[in-house]
Amino acid sequence: MPVPFLIAPEMRVRLKKKHPCGGDMWQVTRTGADIGMLCLTCGRRVFLEREEFERRVKEILETPANKETPDAIETKPSL
């Protein structure tokens, strides 16, 4: 993506690289230092570093309406 964008839980994105299952659409499930994503094709969950995530996003498909969710201020380590 050429410009910075807001990463929000529940937003849907298309990534440049396809998942091994063939899907390229993902839903963000968690934000923080790492971004949690759910593959909308096979349902697998993966984590990407924020920087890596931003590099891989090709298109934002859907952004949830501005709403405050606990996920948006997630601070717990992902252990």
Three-state secondary structure string covering the chain:
CCCCCCCCCCCEEEECCCCCCCCCEEEEEECCCEEEEEECCCCCEEEEEHHHHHHHEEEEEECCCCCCCHHHHCCCCCC
| Residue closer to Zn ion, measured from CB, 23 or 32 | 23
Closest approach, Cβ 45 to Zn ion, in A, equals: 10
Shortest Å distance, C-beta 41 to Zn ion: 5
Q: What is the contact mask toward Zn ion in residues 23 to 52, using x (rule: CB under 5 A)?
A: x---------------x-xx----------
| 1 interacts with Zn ion by CB under 5 A | no
Kindly tell me which of 9 and 24 has the beta carbon lying closer to Zn ion.
Answer: 24
Instruction: Name the residues that contact Zn ion, by CB under 5 A.
Output: 19, 21, 23, 39, 41-42
